[in-house]
Amino acid sequence: MRAAAAGCETIIMTDIPLHFHWTYTAVDQAFWTEQLADWLPPRIIDAHTHVTDPRLRLRPMTEAMRRQYWVNEVFEPIDAPTAEHCHRTVFPGREVSCLVLGTPDLAYDIAGCNRYLQAECPGRGWYSLPAVRPQWTPDDVAALLDAPSVIGVKPYYNLISPDETTRDAHLEASIFEFLPHQILEVLDDRHAWVTLHVPKADRLGHADNVREVREIRRRYPHIVIVLAHLGRCYTEPHALEALPQFADDDGLYFDTSAVLNPASHRIALEHLGTQRLLYGSDNPVFYMRGRRQYRGRTYINRTSYPFHFNTDRESPETEARYTLMMYEDIRAIRQACEELGIRDRSAVAAIFHDNAARLMAGVMSHKRQRLGEQMS
């Protein structure tokens, strides 16, 4: 990075490579300074991020798959050193840690990806949630949970069985098809953490999801359940139909990842409060530049790179002002807090650090106690 001093601030002269097509530019630096730097707390935990050794990809992404789903075009695996470099770049002056989720994609060597995280996380002070397949035995899962940096698991419906023609083969599955009871029993016994990406085109508000999440909470009360992406409530109608239904369960948590919509964050804050929300980026996807727009129950991603999905481009002047979508995401959380009059610094610190830190400490304390009892 070449930089020149101007007053007390350092202005970026050259773009800093982040990952894939994405760079950190003077636009991002200005956005950070003007919109985020004075609001974010000094310590940040990203409770939903993905790190993968790119060499563990078994089958290449096909052109047909790239055209089918926008995430297929932008989910380019990021290794641990690059992820660490990106954290330092996008959160200057902050102490950043993270909870890394395994790679929920059968085009990868899933077990190899889990081992990669076990090797890369401890030295960086990161925790991980290995991806688990529903076919794995309780002993397989118990062995995963014994690794030092592992605090739980990441199940996903696409890990039920491979399908190279569509990403939606298992979209309508029951949660118990990809997170079966025999695995839930081990997780409950270990007081472990599960970040759960709920199935169904209708997202969290689908009656089966509501019933199954409640059943998991009732039968396995020691598991730390974190519903990813606010239960996939990216739009206001989805958030309104789902989130109020969980207002009364203080022990159920949600991560904010991939939700760029201030209305969704506002509804989450109104119905869940500040103590049940965990900041997450879902990076590397949201190093993408651009913004998201909404129509009813759908959204469109606007970006400045000529991806297949990016057919309806905005003007060059507008695109030149795009910042990282992860910055748009954080600004949306800030906007929601301000609309609700949440100005308490401790509330912001809870979302961006303290809630995740408290839950991680709880899992680790149980794990140490258990290992201590085994030794004695």
The smaller minimum CB distance to Zn ion, of residues 257 and 304, is found at 257
Q: Give the Cα-Cα-Cα angle 223, 226, 230 (nearest 5 degrees).
A: 155
Total of residues contacting Zn ion (CB under 5 A): 1
The smaller minimum CB distance to Zn ion, of residues 32 and 328, is found at 328
The smaller minimum CB distance to Zn ion, of residues 259 and 348, is found at 259
The smaller minimum CB distance to Zn ion, of residues 39 and 69, is found at 69
The smaller minimum CB distance to Zn ion, of residues 228 and 252, is found at 228
What single string gives the DSSP state of each residue in 172-216?
Answer: T--HHHHS-HHHHHHHHHTT-EEEE---STTGGGSHHHHHHHHHH
Residue 354 is a binding residue for Zn ion (CB under 5 A) = no
The smaller minimum CB distance to Zn ion, of residues 197 and 291, is found at 197
The smaller minimum CB distance to Zn ion, of residues 241 and 282, is found at 282
- Shortest reach from residue 13's CB to Zn ion, in Å: 34
- Shortest reach from residue 282's CB to Zn ion, in Å: 4
- Shortest reach from residue 359's CB to Zn ion, in Å: 18
- Shortest reach from residue 283's CB to Zn ion, in Å: 9
- Shortest reach from residue 52's CB to Zn ion, in Å: 11
The smaller minimum CB distance to Zn ion, of residues 16 and 277, is found at 277
Interatomic CA distance for residues 41 and 96, integer angstroms? 10
Residue 300's nearest CA partner among 286, 290, 315 is 290
For 318, the token pair is: 């507008």
Residue ranges in 208-247 that form contacts with Zn ion under rule CB under 5 A: none
Task: By CB under 5 A, name the one of 120, 241, 255, 282 that touches Zn ion.
Answer: 282
- Shortest reach from residue 34's CB to Zn ion, in Å: 28
Interatomic CA distance for residues 237 and 232, integer angstroms? 11
Interatomic CA distance for residues 273 and 341, integer angstroms? 12
| CA separation, residue 14 to residues 30, 51, 85, 130 (Å) | 14, 26, 16, 37
By rule CB under 5 A, what string of x and - marks binding of each residue 308-347 to Zn ion? ----------------------------------------
- Shortest reach from residue 168's CB to Zn ion, in Å: 16
The residue range among 90-98, 116-124, 280-288, 338-346 that interacts with Zn ion, by the rule CB under 5 A, is: 280-288
Bridge partner residues of 24 (DSSP): 16
For 255, the token pair is: 């991560």
For 78, the token pair is: 């990021």
What single string gives the DSSP state of each residue in 128-176?
Answer: EE-EE-TTS-HHHHHHHHHSTTB-EEEE-GGGSS--SS-S-TTTT--HH
CB 266 within 8 A of CB 275: no
The residue range among 35-43, 276-284, 296-304, 345-353 that interacts with Zn ion, by the rule CB under 5 A, is: 276-284
The residue range among 34-42, 52-60, 282-290, 310-318 that interacts with Zn ion, by the rule CB under 5 A, is: 282-290
The residue range among 22-30, 117-125, 158-166, 281-289 that interacts with Zn ion, by the rule CB under 5 A, is: 281-289
Give Cβ neighbours of residue 177 (< 8 Å, ≥ 6 apart).
Answer: 134, 157, 160, 170
- Shortest reach from residue 234's CB to Zn ion, in Å: 13
Query: In one letter, which amino acid is 170?
Result: H
- Shortest reach from residue 305's CB to Zn ion, in Å: 20
The residue range among 84-92, 119-127, 212-220, 278-286 that interacts with Zn ion, by the rule CB under 5 A, is: 278-286
Give Cβ neighbours of residue 216 (< 8 Å, ≥ 6 apart).
Answer: 175, 179, 184, 223, 225
CB 154 within 8 A of CB 110: no
Which spans of this chain sit near Zn ion (rule: CB under 5 A)?
A: 282
